[in-house]
Amino acid sequence: MKKSFIFVMLILIPIMLGMGSMSESDSPEKIPVTKEKFSAAFIDQMDVITECTGVSINGKTFIEGTKGKGLYTIAFKEIKDIIFVQKAEKLKGMVRLMNDERIEMVLNKDHKAYGKTKYGTFQITLTKLNKMIVNPQDQVK
């Protein structure tokens, strides 16, 4: 009986210690690094403007949302800006494209925007944003 208890503990201890490192994945010092590099200005609900480089949403350089029953993605290089509007339980994204066409999508409320400031890293959930303005100079390749 004593041997089986020790055996179980030897298996469980490394697993439990490894769980502590899982909480660090959302660490403010660590943000997703993307292949494509974009900069943007984020305007939050308190009208604070944060200029960032290395911008992504959930580690991707596109916005993802639904329109009707379909799932859409729009690359940052196609976007001028996005206005975020919380309506009841839905987060809507009013996307203005480079050609001034506008597309409204329902976004995932749990997604986060990430970037680097001159002071350090930046992250914010989309529900706390009013607007994201993609820097047009980054869209020229």
Closest CA to 31 of 110, 109, 113, 108: 113
pLDDT in tens, 25-76: 455 567 888 888 999 999 999 999 999 999 999 999 999 999 999 999 999 9
Q: What is the per-residue pLDDT for 31?
A: 84
Pairing status of strand 129-134 against strand 112-116: unpaired
Domain boundaries, the chain: 27-139
pLDDT in tens, 73-95: 999 999 999 999 998 889 999 99
Contact call for residues 123 and 76 (beta carbons, < 8 A): no
